[in-house]
Amino acid sequence: MSEETEYEIALSRPKAFYSAFERKEELQHQTHYCPGCGHGIVHKMLAQAIDSLEIQNRTVLISPVGCSVFAYYYFDVGNIQAAHGRASAVATAVKRTRPDSIVISYQGDGDLAAIGSAEILHAANRGENITVIFVNNTIYSMTGGQVAPTTLLGQVSTTTPKGRQAGNEGYPLHVSELLATLQAPVYIERVGLGDNRQIAQAARAVRRAVENQARGLGFSFVEILSPCPTIWKMSPVEAQHWVRDVMEKTFPLGVLRDLIAQAEPRPVPRPAPSLDEIPRILGVAPPAPAASAERSSPKPASPLDLQVRVAGFGGQGVLLLGEMLAEAGLDAGLEVSWLPSYGPEMRSGTSNCHVRLAQEPVDSPLVAHPDVLVAMNEPSLIKFAATVRRGGWIVYNGEAVPAECPAEGVHILARPFTHIADELGDARAANMLMLGALLEIAGSLPQASVDAALMRLVKSPRWLELDERAMTRGRELFQEAFEGVRR
Amino acid sequence: MHRQLMKGNEAIIRSAILAGCRAFYGYPITPASEIAEAAAIYMPEAGGVFLQAESEVAAINMIYGAAAAGERAMTASSGPGISLMQEGVSYMAGAELPCVIVDITRAGPGLGNIASEQGDYHQVVKGGGHGNYRTLVLAPHSVQEMADLTALAFELADRYRNPVVVMADGFIGQMMEPVEFPTTATSPRIPKWAVAGTEESRGNLISSIHLEPDKQEAHERQLEAKYTIAQRREARAEEWWTDTADIVLVGYGIAARILKAVAAEARAEGLRVGVLRPITLFPFPAEHFRRAAAHAQVFLVVEMSNGQLLEDVRLALNGARPAEFLNRMGGNVPSHAEVLESVHSLAQQIPPAEERQGLVAHV
Amino acid sequence: MDALKRDRGHLRVNAEECKGCGLCIEACPPKVIRLTERINHYGYRTAEYTGAGCTGCGICFQVCPEPGAITVLRLVTPRSGVPRRNHTATTGAI
């Protein structure tokens, strides 16, 4: 008989497998799996699916930690080996970075259902457009047969020597049922390798799960009940029957989610903007020459070196006051720093910031001894008054500085700024009143720079108008109190 | 020149995107959350991916995936989150994947508090995960450096195919200073080794496994060779008046800013004080220290941790000069006054220049 | 040889790849696969085709854990009577 001429090859090694396993140290013509191992059977149906869908070049296989850690020995596709349990997280990012790729996360039950339980749950819940092949053999095989989340009740393992007890290890974890409670997954099916019929169904499920992704439909998950003859201490045929006769009773086969008919292909990501557009998108593009010339503010009339501490309670606009000063300083061509209250200082709703304006680059942004303390409430005054350098200023939001407050050798402007702001239209403008007074102390900061800072930081027209009035009033309050006195 | 007032944490993301980063995966933690929040706004706008992961463990493994697929990828966290990421950092170093990790440090151990500390030095600089690897570590001390060193971090990560950490304290992350960015954005090509789901990249494998001890050893020696080259080429430090200093103040991050202010004041008093600020913590700028030791009498290490920087300074000095120590912890910052007091105290112990002519020759 | 007596299928077992797990023997509907008495040089008793009766159904291929241990062939041009089966080159229909 001449088979060459009368018979043709119908089923042979799928093309998605390497012809020789060169990444293997030895025995490069066969797998590292034990005789009768379910992984080899699942590998073959996955390779067939890749062949028939013609996606070999686009496929990226994520191999887990477990016996299938070496899946990359066999699959002639892009391969990434992931840390234990993390394959679904890795797959998530590969797919999002390369949406045209077909990303298959191949995981065992120790990997996926125990250490990787968070990663699979959230990848499923996000509806990542990936395919997850979950090989469940009820045991940690690679490490020698320890109990897994999927181990059957009563099943002996090296770490449940008397068999799994619900009272100690809990119940077998039904991952497919768990994931089927989520809204996002498109397809979830549990299949088995327990006999010919089951294996045929498993091959169909694997192909469907990969095809869903190729069609852009979303998260597809196939749990495969799989024999481990070695750890189960059975012959390959006994192990196959055990899948069908025992395992399936705990893990019923079937489709748990099928939204394939309803699922819409996921939207294609927007095309990325051109590189030229990036600085503008980030808000860092230099202003157009005309605009910047228009906006160019005069330089300070005299050199300015100012250290300011602004303090009050949260909601008084302490940080904004400081930021406005720093912005105005930058606009005027000065070196500036603004440091918000941070860490231990940030307690009981108090808030403060350090601001420095200088001719030279600012060395330390921390202001230990301010030239000006702007204290928006009494606790801030008490806390920081003693730190103000001799000859410096305190601008205080109150009728008068309490007698016990240590403020010798310091100029004081104490006014009920909150009440005055209220009369102007909104008590919350007190910070801008105090900024007005502060600007008078700072003296040489050009008004144009202050206006520019205000325009940049205050967007609402109502507040812009109110803040401008408040600042002007603050300047007047200072001038009324200290006619002719300037720092 | 277009200088903008901006927080360090916001400057990082802009710089990263300008440097071609198009993948950010993170998990919220104070004081680093603003970085993720800025990424959530700008990454999608720039055509990149932002995703808040279910944990830092997932986030770093997403970075592993994005980097494996050939994207410039980054995450940001603080000490407790960096601890959780160490597994993934070890895998990335083992698999030779580039990425940038920003650590905005806080006080610890345990939950600690959210104030600035530098106690992450060991876990970041010495490689906090398992195995024989290092991460390159950059330590910005200004908002401008938050931008510049983030861009450099991506370059170094690609050049050495290794994770690079930008380690800053909460002050540098939270404070606003003027910052200037490059006017053009870059777009790196997909590296040849990446697994990108294409015909050309089909034969590629990203993995950290080498079953045979000889192959694993060869792999680790090759990693070590990279770190040796980095040690030679990438060590960076800033020196302020160290060439004429008797007392060299040493610190990084916010501590270095205080040291500069102290040194300026001490110089005004006539004291010969300088500042040596490591910019790279690994590779450690040991050569800078050896040079400064040629004439400096004493080094004062000022850090916000329990002598972690001090160890590296002493290794670099190798006994040539004493290294004195001043530290604060728990979220406290060494004050200008207490550093200046230490400087005064050290200055009194240093013999006048004419009495020590003979000593210099020993170095 | 009379074409009507031709088997619809034929199979080859690569004795270098086969690990002798026996799943194909269990799966084969017409029971035309057996273990050899020989032991290959890896120490396995491998599967072999008995030489007659293969229907070309492909089930042995699908249950075999090794990528290329089994190759299934199907008759191309029966001279009479038996229609050619539809199949694809690699996946088949099982």
Give the CATH number for residue C63.
Answer: 3.30.70.20
Query: What pLDDT does A40 receive?
Result: 98
Beta bridge partners of residue B104, listed in sequence order: B168
What are the backbone dihedrals phi and psi of residue B142, each rounded to the nearest 5 degrees, phi first?
Answer: -155, 165
The SS3 of residue C33 is strand
Mean pLDDT of chain C: 83
Domain endpoint, select from B209, B233, B257: B233
pLDDT(A346) > 60: no
Number of domains in chain B: 2
Which residue type does B256 have? A
Domain that holds residue C76: 9-87
Examine residue B362 and state whether it is found in any structural domain, yes or no: no
Q: Per-residue pLDDT averaged across A331-346, rounded?
A: 81
Question: Would an 8 Å CB–CB cutoff place C88 in contact with chain A?
Answer: yes
User: How do residues A218-248 score in pLDDT, each as one tens digit?
Assistant: 999 999 999 999 999 999 999 999 999 999 9
Examine residue C42 and state whether it is found in any structural domain, yes or no: yes
Nearest to A418 by CA among A408, A428, A409: A428
- Kindly indicate the confidence band of residue A292, based on its pLDDT and cuts at 50, 70 and 90: low
Examine residue B45 and state whether it is found in any structural domain, yes or no: yes
The answer to whether residues B65 and B192 belong to one domain is yes
Cis previous bond, A35, omega within 30: no
User: In terms of DSSP H, where are the helices of chain B?
Assistant: 8-18, 33-45, 56-68, 79-95, 121-125, 143-160, 170-174, 213-233, 254-268, 286-293, 308-317, 336-349
Domain endpoint, select from B233, B268, B303: B233
Which residue type does A403 have? A
Examine residue A153 and state whether it is found in any structural domain, yes or no: yes
pTM tops 0.80: yes
The rounded distance, in Å, linking the Cα atoms of A87 and A102 is 14
User: How do residues A413-463 score in pLDDT, each as one tens digit?
Assistant: 999 999 999 999 999 999 999 999 999 998 889 999 999 999 999 999 999
The answer to whether residues B151 and B279 belong to one domain is no
Q: Per-residue pLDDT averaged across A120-127, rounded?
A: 98
Question: Would an 8 Å CB–CB cutoff place A267 in contact with chain B?
Answer: no
Query: What pLDDT does A269 receive?
Result: 77
The rounded distance, in Å, linking the Cα atoms of A261 and A253 is 21
The answer to whether residues A309 and A253 belong to one domain is no
Q: Per-residue pLDDT averaged across A263-280, rounded?
A: 90
Q: Which residues of C touch A199 (CB under 8 A)?
A: 62-63
C41 CB burial (10 A radius; 0-12, 13-18, 19+): exposed
Task: Name the A residues in 35-64 with CB < 8 Å from any B CB.
Answer: 56-60, 62
The SS3 of residue B163 is strand
Number of domains in chain A: 2
Examine residue C25 and state whether it is found in any structural domain, yes or no: yes
Question: Would an 8 Å CB–CB cutoff place A16 in contact with chain B?
Answer: no
Q: Per-residue pLDDT averaged across A375-379, rounded?
A: 94
Examine residue A372 and state whether it is found in any structural domain, yes or no: yes
The answer to whether residues B186 and B209 belong to one domain is yes
pLDDT(A294) > 80: no
Examine residue A200 and state whether it is found in any structural domain, yes or no: yes
Q: Which residues of A touch B47 (CB under 8 A)?
A: 269-273
Token digits for A218? 């979303």
Q: What is the CATH number of the domain that holds B66?
A: 3.40.50.970
The answer to whether residues A212 and A334 belong to one domain is no
Q: Is-contact A487 A442, C-beta < 8 A?
A: yes
The answer to whether residues B215 and B242 belong to one domain is no
Examine residue C3 and state whether it is found in any structural domain, yes or no: no
The answer to whether residues B105 and B223 belong to one domain is yes
Domain endpoint, select from A200, A235, A258: A258
Examine residue A340 and state whether it is found in any structural domain, yes or no: yes
Query: What pLDDT does B140 receive?
Result: 98
Domain that holds residue B128: 4-233
Nearest to B57 by CA among A113, A128, A116: A116
Q: Is-contact B195 A78, C-beta < 8 A?
A: yes
Q: Is the ipTM of this complex over 0.85?
A: yes
Examine residue B10 and state whether it is found in any structural domain, yes or no: yes
Q: Which residues of C touch A52 (CB under 8 A)?
A: 88, 90-91
Query: What pLDDT does A274 receive?
Result: 96
The rounded distance, in Å, linking the Cα atoms of B166 and A96 is 25
User: How do residues C11-52 score in pLDDT, each as one tens digit?
Assistant: 999 998 999 999 999 999 999 999 998 888 888 899 999 999
The answer to whether residues B188 and B249 belong to one domain is no
Residue in B25, B87, B211 nearest the CB of A83: B87
Examine residue C93 and state whether it is found in any structural domain, yes or no: no
Cis previous bond, B28, omega within 30: no
Residue in A269, A284, A366 nearest the CB of B333: A366
Q: Per-residue pLDDT averaged across A344-368, rounded?
A: 85
Question: What pLDDT tens digit does each residue of chain B (363 aa) get?
Answer: 799 999 999 999 999 999 999 999 999 999 999 999 999 999 999 999 999 999 999 999 999 999 999 999 999 999 999 999 999 999 999 999 999 999 999 999 999 999 999 999 999 999 899 999 999 999 999 999 999 999 999 999 999 999 999 999 999 999 999 999 999 999 999 999 999 999 999 999 999 999 999 999 999 999 999 999 999 999 999 999 999 999 999 999 999 999 999 999 999 999 999 999 999 999 999 999 999 999 899 999 999 999 999 999 999 999 999 999 999 999 999 999 999 999 999 999 987 766 665 554 443
Subunits adjacent to chain C (3 or more Cβ pairs under 8 Å): A
Question: Would an 8 Å CB–CB cutoff place A38 in contact with chain C?
Answer: yes
Examine residue A11 and state whether it is found in any structural domain, yes or no: no
- Kindly indicate the confidence band of residue A192, based on its pLDDT and cuts at 50, 70 and 90: very high
Q: Which residues of C touch A74 (CB under 8 A)?
A: 67
Query: What pLDDT does B236 receive?
Result: 98
Examine residue C26 and state whether it is found in any structural domain, yes or no: yes
The answer to whether residues B115 and B164 belong to one domain is yes
The answer to whether residues A312 and A240 belong to one domain is no
The rounded distance, in Å, linking the Cα atoms of B40 and A143 is 41
Domain that holds residue A148: 38-258
Number of domains in chain C: 1
Closest Cα in chain C to A39 = C65
The answer to whether residues B195 and B278 belong to one domain is no
Record: contact C62-A199, CB cut-off 8 A: yes
Query: What pLDDT does C89 receive?
Result: 40
pLDDT(C86) > 50: no
Q: Is-contact A19 A30, C-beta < 8 A?
A: no
Residue A172 gets which letter from DSSP? P
User: How do residues A126-184 score in pLDDT, each as one tens digit?
Assistant: 999 999 999 999 999 999 999 999 999 999 999 999 999 999 999 999 999 999 999 99
Record: contact A8-C27, CB cut-off 8 A: no
User: How do residues A13-64 score in pLDDT, each as one tens digit?
Assistant: 999 999 999 999 888 999 999 999 999 999 999 999 999 999 999 999 999 9
Closest Cα in chain A to C71 = A12
Examine residue C17 and state whether it is found in any structural domain, yes or no: yes
Mean pLDDT of chain A: 93
- Kindly indicate the confidence band of residue C62, based on its pLDDT and cuts at 50, 70 and 90: very high
Record: contact B5-A323, CB cut-off 8 A: yes
Helix or strand holding residue B178 (H, E): strand B176-179
Examine residue A27 and state whether it is found in any structural domain, yes or no: no
Q: What is the CATH number of the domain that holds A330?
A: 3.40.920.10
Query: What pLDDT does C39 receive?
Result: 86
